Amino acid sequence: MTSKDFVTQEGLEKIDREIAELEERLACTRHEKGEAAQMGNVWHDNFAFESLEQQERMLVKQLTEKKAFRHRAQVVNASPAAVSVIEIGSTAELQFEDGTVMTLTIRGTGEGDPTNGVISYQSPVGKAILGAIEGEERIYHAGGRERCVIILKILR
């Protein structure tokens, strides 16, 4: 049984863009490799060919992994009625145990960007607050210790 990776619609579109970019890079690399093969001995002392062959293998691996991820990806849309509960796609104002207040958006697998206030549902904080309601305190583990976060307000 294949497990699903939950993503938002934006996350799915990002995966599709990354796949298209990898396919384009792979096509260019293969073209350059063909040209390099014509310039010298394919099997010996053709550094350009060998380098492009290595790059081709790397791109094929990345493309295979990205396509497998795309196959597992399942789009999750936050329901408008669920503003009272944190789910993937929700944005909430949180207060951490040191008093810091942050507004964070919960996104899907690979969509986290903490410097811009976006965390994955698979992150320690993301896991802790899924399903939480306003005013609720949740415990999570980070940095080798137990920490707490309070959901001050669910914004969407």
Encoded tokens for 56: 């081709």
Query: Could you tell me the residue ranges of all domains in the chain?
Result: 5-75, 80-154
In this chain, the answer to whether the domains covering 5-75 and 80-154 adopt an identical fold is: no
Q: Give the residue, 123 or 82, on which the prediction is more confident.
A: 123
How high is the pLDDT of residue 119? 94
Give yes or no for residue 110 having a pLDDT over 90. no
CATH number of the domain located at residue range(s) 80-154 in this protein:
3.10.50.30
Read off the pLDDT of each residue in 104-132 and give the average, rounded to a whole number: 92
CATH number of the domain located at residue range(s) 5-75 in this protein:
1.10.287
Per-residue confidence band for 143, with pLDDT thresholds at 50, 70 and 90: confident
Describe the chain by its helix, strand, coil percentages, rounded to 5.
45, 25, 30
Average pLDDT, the chain: 89
How high is the pLDDT of residue 141? 93
- Which among 87, 67, 62 is positioned nearest to 8, based on CA atoms? 87
Give yes or no for residue 82 having a pLDDT over 60. no
Give yes or no for residue 79 having a pLDDT over 80. no
